Amino acid sequence: MTNESPLSEREREILRLVATGATNQQIAIALNISVNTVKVHLRNIFAKIGVESRTEATVYAIRVGVVTVGEAGLASTDEAASSLEPTPVVTLQPANHDQVPVPTSKPTVASSDIAPPVLTESTPPTPLPPEMPAPNPPIAGQDAPETVTAQTASFRPITRFGPWLIGLAAVLVIIITLFVANARPTSNTSPTVNPTAASLLNPEQRWFTRQPLSDPRDDFALTGYDLERRLYVIGGQRDGSIVATVDRYDPETNRWVTLTDKPTAVSHARAITLRGLIFVPGGEDSTGAVIDRLEIYDPREQRWYTGAALPAPRSRYTLAAWEGQLYLIGGWDGASIRNEVFIYDPVLDRWETGPALPQPRRNAGSAIAGGRLYVIGGEGINGPLRESARLEPSTDPSRRWIAITPLPQPIARPATIALSSTLLVFDGERREGLTYDIAADAWSRTPLPPEAQVFPDAVLLDASIYFVGNLQAQGILSEYRALYVIFIPGQ
């Protein structure tokens, strides 16, 4: 870490623990602070380094030297803490699709978010910035907000006597390993999807079936909320009716709960998490009309708000959070497929127009990788597309979309996930996986095991990709562990 780092010593200490796979609860115990204080620090860290998930934060920590792969170290001690960092180090292992490794322990389950910084632990979260219009009246939630009781523990600082240091390091390795081993609830081993229980398809593989969506439907919006590590399924249609239902899934408990309905029932919309809020622009309402309404959900307060209307009605677009802004790309206006790009600033509550796509498309995939925005496949005027493109950051005043190597085959609704220097793309119709190497600008096929369930609606949450099935698939929830965190004792 250089002197130009925007992070304080305490923030670097927390980032190190995040990179080793520690959960908020484990970080709180290690540093003798509350879980809420950890969350506040994480919000500030994510905002400062420009990341949106724990996975991206880990990659950043490795890149700038906060954590070195294959090398163990202890956290620096400052005036605010008398604790030691665990000696394990982090090794991120993207999935090897030719060989399915067997993890020695279950991956760490943690929570993260990029909400705006909170000045003090007791300060309530601000749903929208002061510059934005006054929010609509809140709608009472059906599910009471959950609270976490912080566990505290203190460690006696050891600055001398080598044997004591080695002994304490060994104890910390064992403690962290036990936390990791118990981070997930136990799953059944039955390969059959059971509507009342989760099933582990194969303990030696990365694919798992979880509790299915309790209210299956089509054309819903899906997003992940990192701070509480939960999935949200919003709206959609069932039996010809457009619904406003909001369902939340907790991987820790393997349980779905129904929350406050969205004010406007929509289908063919998408959702994205940005600065601690969930944004759902446009979509198609109960009359089938494409709308320009932006509705914003605060998961912490379980309230809906209304933002600035889109420049034009849109549905069936792709959506990305990039550089603190929301990018709505392409889509359908009710009469034709579009190529416009709308950019929303959540601080100013304002839309502007970005660089247009080279060709109109809807239902495309999108992801942020290597500091660039990628748009993959989708449907064009003449059908499914192979053509894909990337966009440089906004610091380039003359930026435009640049074509990348086309997909090996056209994909109408690709599920697109970014993992460090690669993109994973899943074709739900063919049940195939593809990997795009950013550096090589090349695609390769990714064989999927027979038990893998892939759908167009997918989201990365921590180290796992979650796929949610539609009404025909009875709302199957499939998990693919794309990254593993492996603990290596120090030498």
2 band by pLDDT with thresholds 50, 70 and 90: very low
pLDDT over threshold 80, residue 181 = no
What's residue 36's pLDDT? 75
How confident is the model over 251-283, as pLDDT tens digits? 999 999 999 999 999 999 999 999 899 999 999
362 band by pLDDT with thresholds 50, 70 and 90: very high
For 12-45, b/e burial (b = at least 16 CB within 10 A) is bbbbbbbbbbbbbbbbbbbbbbbbbbbbbbbbbb
What's residue 360's pLDDT? 97
| 3-class DSSP state of 364 | coil
Distance CA 292, CA 269 (A): 11
**Is the Cβ–Cβ distance between 16 and 75 less than 8 Å?**
yes
Paired strand residues for 232 = 223, 248
Mean pLDDT of 429-441: 94
Question: The tokens 């996986």 sit on which residue?
Answer: 433
How confident is the model over 7-52, as pLDDT tens digits? 888 888 898 888 877 888 788 877 868 777 888 888 889 888 878 7
**Is the Cβ–Cβ distance between 57 and 45 less than 8 Å?**
yes
How confident is the model over 324-359, as pLDDT tens digits? 999 999 999 999 999 999 999 999 999 999 999 999
How confident is the model over 115-154, as pLDDT tens digits? 333 323 333 333 434 334 434 434 333 444 443 333 333 3
The CA-to-CA distance between both ends of the chain, in Å, stands at 22
Domains along the chain with CATH numbers:
1-118+160-189+484-491 (1.10.10.10), 207-483 (2.120.10.80)
How confident is the model over 47-93, as pLDDT tens digits? 888 787 888 888 888 878 787 654 333 333 333 333 333 333 333 34
Distance CA 13, CA 45 (A): 11
What's residue 272's pLDDT? 96
